[in-house]
Structure 1
Amino acid sequence: MDIKAEEFLHKLQNKLPLPQATQVYVVFGEDDYYRSQITAALPGYIYGDTDEADRQITVFEKDTDISAVSEAVNTYPFFSGQSLVVLKDDKLWSKGGEEARQTVLDKLTALVNDVPEYCTLLISAPKLDKRTKFYKALKKAALLCECASLRPYELQPWLDAQAELYGARFEHDAIGMIMEYLAPVEKVPLQLLQQEIAKLAVYAGERRQWTRQDILDIFAALPEASDFALTNFIMEGRLKAALEALASARRHGTYVLPLTAMVSAKLRQLARYFELQRSGYDQRSLMQELGVRHPYAMKMLTQQARRFDERRVREALLAVDQLNIDLRQGGRDFARLEEILIRLLA
């Protein structure tokens, strides 16, 4: 049986009944956030108030021998009457040739089909081949949870749930700002985002309404988000803030090429917006042509475009593209990008 990651984690954390009675749980997929959260929550769900010293938990995460896993699964726990075996060796699914992998899968198939009642087996893997006999065995014997990575436009329910943990809520513009920061990425770094939300909760203190300015204050200081902050400051016409973000990136040792690439992409989007608007495109057509997936992002782009002169945008775009070409020669890379921003925003 399948279960969604958010639902699985919620049931574990709140000690709620799971939809299938089984001794085998499987969490798989590229998203490390949910896999690690579920793995951390499972012992509390299984053992309840049992003292940690009496919990029999065996974890396999490196150089795993399937025979040792089988022994752990089949060894009766003397103290709590329950044992937990966690198999999260990522290399287990890829080491050796095809024959070696098949041998491992065959042994695991036999194992998951015969887990004793006193044992819970958790399998955590970055990827499982759904065509294999092993996966088909899991479909019958296990509760399966696929932890797919979130895209930025899918993020709002997750953000709302995170804020609720602190008794707070994001204002609409604050969520929009986070989506703007993450728009260039394919997969949302939930682990990093959760850490920044924890910092935001401390920063806001007793205040339970989290604003767009809060996001700017917290997220813009992140080395990982400084390039996203830079493009947002540019689009808002905030020269001083853009130069400070650029200086911060330089201090953190960020290579200038990814920054110029992002600035170029944003200016190109802006230039394309002007072109399409002159051609009479409506908002839906603009979103489709520009690759904008969230209405709030389109609203922000429309507002931001009003701050710019199309001729200066195209001049800045040409200058940034020339800087990208010249970067292989070294020299005044950050200084030239600063000069381009000053001409654009001053």
Structure 2
Amino acid sequence: MSYIKSKKKLEQGGIDRVYFLHGTQTFLMEDITQQVIAKAAVEQENVITYSLLDTPLELAVEEAETFPFFGGKKIVIVQDFFFVTSQKPEGKIEHDLSRLERYLTSPLPESILLLVSPYEKLDERKKITKALKEHAAVVDCAPFDAKMTEEWLEDQAREKGFQFSGRGKEHLLERVGPQLLLLASEIEKLALYVGENGQVDEDVVALLVARSLEQDVFALLDLAVKQQAHEALLLYHDLLKKKEEPLKLLVLIARQLRIYYQVKELTRRAYSQKQMAAQLKLHPYVVKLASQQAGRFEDRQLLTLLKQCADTDYAIKSGKVDKVLGVELLLLKLASASIQHA
């Protein structure tokens, strides 16, 4: 079950006895955990957390099998649940996995067991993986694709009592990127500003939300690609005033151009954006933005610009050109390449 579906089920009062949370988005895992605690109305003294890196699994299961000392319900959280992967953590602690397998078939009604597996891939062949899929509420906490990110933003807005305009939501993603933890922080700020039943549009986002460095670099390239060389140079000098290092900006520019080239190549091979994201190990939203820009360049132009990035890097480091001027010239070449293609 996806994170979003799991959260909706919790909001409607549906609480399972065993949860298996897996994936690399620890923010989502923590959010589901806190939702379970809140919906089950469990007192903090009845929330017990273990890590399998320093505690045998059977001790955690024994805790789940024990009636809550203070009455009500008990939540047992098991962190670093690595049995569903091919990973073998360091340490000599032995675990009795059969104890958990027996518990899954008949969990204590007064306990809620959360097994947290912050790993990218599951080993589907393992017996315990199959048992969890059969007996537990499985919550996929993998990175969102673009559609799920937008759906999550809408859910967050509803929870906070405001609405996004279409462009407001897009502009927030453009400024912050797909990092959910940062987005959640910005949503809190936006909600306070617009108030109950308010609307967050592009102007509100521009007023309150600062771009990340990666998004600034994307905006820098976007301006150059759109032949707005003057605006691109103004943004570049704004970044310099913020003490950003020209060589660091150069590296990020080269990275973005490399993504454009890779996206063009994978598009020719009929890869979907989701497949591209998996292949390049990028968030789908990053691939979506790159796909929109990559078509403005021919392959040879991108390869030429990448070579110019390398030449600029060498010229700066060898003292042949000033670093500020070197990146300025590169931005002008980028705008020129876009003009030629247009």
User: So what's the TM-score if we normalise by structure 1?
Assistant: 0.70
1:42 paired residue number? 36
Is it true that 1:16 corresponds to 2:5 in the alignment?
Answer: no
**CA distance in structure 1 between the partners assigned to 2:155 and 2:60 by the alignment:** 36
The one-letter code sitting in structure 1 at the alignment partner of 2:60 is V
1:154 CA displacement: 4.3
1:44 CA displacement: 1.6
1:120 paired residue number? 112
Superposition RMSD in Å: 4.6
Is it true that 1:147 corresponds to 2:141 in the alignment?
Answer: yes
Q: Find the residue that maps to 1:64 and give its secondary structure.
A: coil
**CA distance in structure 2 between the partners assigned to 1:8 and 1:299 by the alignment:** 31
Taking the TM superposition and a 5 Å limit, the aligned residue runs for 1:86-105 are: 86-89=77-80, 94-96=88-90, 103-105=95-97
**Partner residue of 2:132 out of 103, 127, 138:** 138
Taking the TM superposition and a 5 Å limit, the aligned residue runs for 1:156-305 are: 156-178=150-172, 180=174, 188-204=178-194, 208-223=198-213, 225-235=215-225, 237=228, 238-239=231-232, 241-247=234-240, 250-251=243-244, 255-262=248-255, 264-265=257-258
Q: Residues 20 and 116 of structure 2 are in contact (CA less than 8 Å); yes or no, is this contact kept in structure 1?
A: yes
Q: Residues 49 and 76 of structure 2 are in contact (CA less than 8 Å); yes or no, is this contact kept in structure 1?
A: yes
**CA distance in structure 2 between the partners assigned to 1:147 and 1:299 by the alignment:** 25
Taking the TM superposition and a 5 Å limit, the aligned residue runs for 1:300-339 are: 319-326=308-315, 329=318, 332-339=322-329
**CA distance in structure 2 between the partners assigned to 1:41 and 1:321 by the alignment:** 49
**CA distance in structure 2 between the partners assigned to 1:301 and 1:170 by the alignment:** 25
Q: Residues 24 and 142 of structure 1 are in contact (CA less than 8 Å); yes or no, is this contact kept in structure 2?
A: yes
Identity of aligned residues (%): 23
1:85 paired residue number? 76
1:131 CA displacement: 1.4
**CA distance in structure 1 between the partners assigned to 2:112 and 2:200 by the alignment:** 41
Q: List alignment gaps of at least 5 residues for structure 1.
A: 273-283
Give aligned pairs, total.
315
1:4 paired residue number? 2
Q: Residues 250 and 327 of structure 2 are in contact (CA less than 8 Å); yes or no, is this contact kept in structure 1?
A: no
**CA distance in structure 2 between the partners assigned to 1:216 and 1:323 by the alignment:** 33
**CA distance in structure 1 between the partners assigned to 2:220 and 2:207 by the alignment:** 13
**CA distance in structure 2 between the partners assigned to 1:239 and 1:343 by the alignment:** 12
Distance 1:35 1:288, change over 3 A: closer
1:90 CA displacement: 5.4
The one-letter code sitting in structure 2 at the alignment partner of 1:56 is N
1:129 CA displacement: 2.1
**CA distance in structure 1 between the partners assigned to 2:246 and 2:330 by the alignment:** 20
Q: List alignment gaps of at least 5 residues for structure 2.
A: 278-283, 337-342
- Deviation by residue 1:284-303 (Cα, 9 ceiling, x = unmatched): 99x98998999x9699759x
Is it true that 1:32 corresponds to 2:22 in the alignment?
Answer: no
Q: Find the residue that maps to 2:40 and give its secondary structure.
A: helix
1:6 CA displacement: 0.8
- Deviation by residue 1:33-82 (Cα, 9 ceiling, x = unmatched): 221100111112222xx6x36x5111113512223213312222132232
User: So what's the TM-score if we normalise by structure 2?
Assistant: 0.70
Q: Find the residue that maps to 1:225 and give its secondary structure.
A: helix
Q: Find the residue that maps to 2:182 and give its secondary structure.
A: helix
1:134 CA displacement: 0.7
Q: Residues 264 and 320 of structure 1 are in contact (CA less than 8 Å); yes or no, is this contact kept in structure 2?
A: no
1:229 CA displacement: 3.5
The one-letter code sitting in structure 2 at the alignment partner of 1:320 is C
- Deviation by residue 1:271-315 (Cα, 9 ceiling, x = unmatched): x8xxxxxxxxxxx99x98998999x9699759x96xx9xxx9999
The one-letter code sitting in structure 1 at the alignment partner of 2:65 is N
Distance 1:298 1:338, change over 3 A: closer
**CA distance in structure 1 between the partners assigned to 2:314 and 2:204 by the alignment:** 37
Distance 1:233 1:247, change over 3 A: farther
